[in-house]
Amino acid sequence: MGGTLILSAIEWWTILGTTPLEIIATCASVTGVFLIARQNIWGWPLGLIWAGISAYLAFIAWSLVSDGILYLTYIPLQCYCWFVWLRRGGRRQAELSDAFIPTWLPRRRQILLTGAAAVSIAIWAHAMVWLAANLTWFPTPALLWRDSTTTVLNFYGQFLQARKRMENWTFWLIVNTLGIHIYWVKGSPIYSLQYGIFLVLGLYGWWRWHRSRGGEG
């Protein structure tokens, strides 16, 4: 019985394609997203751990250049979001001119935001191609358009989340759906699973933030 259990564990380890770093990053990220969905500020430092490990893996293990750059920029972004939430949410509501609660952008700004995101994706993808063609040390990006889309929308989603704009959850829906596919293709099922969990947590986060807008718990 013991031998069978050991062999089963080894088989699942192989199927998942995990490394200790992937496991640590996944645990930190899933817990962090759950906390952010509950508007808990401690989700941001966990995001820092995830970003650092993921940057290393993206460049070294997966050749996902855009994602590698993204994860590196996540480090200051997580610090920025942490600071904004600490500054705006750490004071008593009575001292705030406007309560720091989730809000939607006006319709016109939503349209402009969508257009800006589409243009940004195109610019980013072409920049990656140009860099790979003109810099010998720059690696050839894998899954160019999918990787570029998740990278750019991550930037937008982070800033929207820092400002508690409800639109951030729409961007995360796209990012997480693509992320499931990208990391499965790149041979990291545990990261693919991680993005599947993100997808569910994103829906949970939207629900929690939506409830808080109506003054519910």
| Least trusted range by pLDDT, from 25-29, 108-112, 138-142 | 138-142
Q: Can you tell me the distance from the alpha carbon of 60 to that of 51, in angstroms, rounded to the nearest whole number?
A: 14
Q: What is the pLDDT of residue 89?
A: 64
- Is residue 37 in some structural domain? yes
The arithmetic mean of pLDDT across residues 18-29, rounded, is 82
- Is residue 62 in some structural domain? yes
Q: Number of structural domains, the chain?
A: 1
- Is residue 99 in some structural domain? no
Determine what percent of the chain is predicted with pLDDT higher than 70: 84
Confidence of residue 96 (pLDDT cuts 50, 70, 90): very low
Say yes or no to pLDDT of 31 above 80.
yes
CA atoms within 13 A on the CB side of 107: 0
**Alpha-carbon torsion, ordered 78, 150, 160, 86, to 10 deg:** -10
Residue linked to tokens 């952010």: 36
Q: What is the pLDDT of residue 136?
A: 84
Which has the closest alpha carbon to 71: 90, 47, 46, 103?
A: 47
- Is residue 34 in some structural domain? yes
- Is residue 3 in some structural domain? no
Say yes or no to pLDDT of 104 above 90.
yes
Say yes or no to pLDDT of 137 above 90.
no
Q: Can you tell me the distance from the alpha carbon of 170 to that of 206, in angstroms, rounded to the nearest whole number?
A: 9
Q: What is the pLDDT of residue 98?
A: 53
| Residue range of the domain that includes 26 | 18-88+104-133+144-213
The arithmetic mean of pLDDT across residues 6-25, rounded, is 58
The arithmetic mean of pLDDT across residues 60-82, rounded, is 81
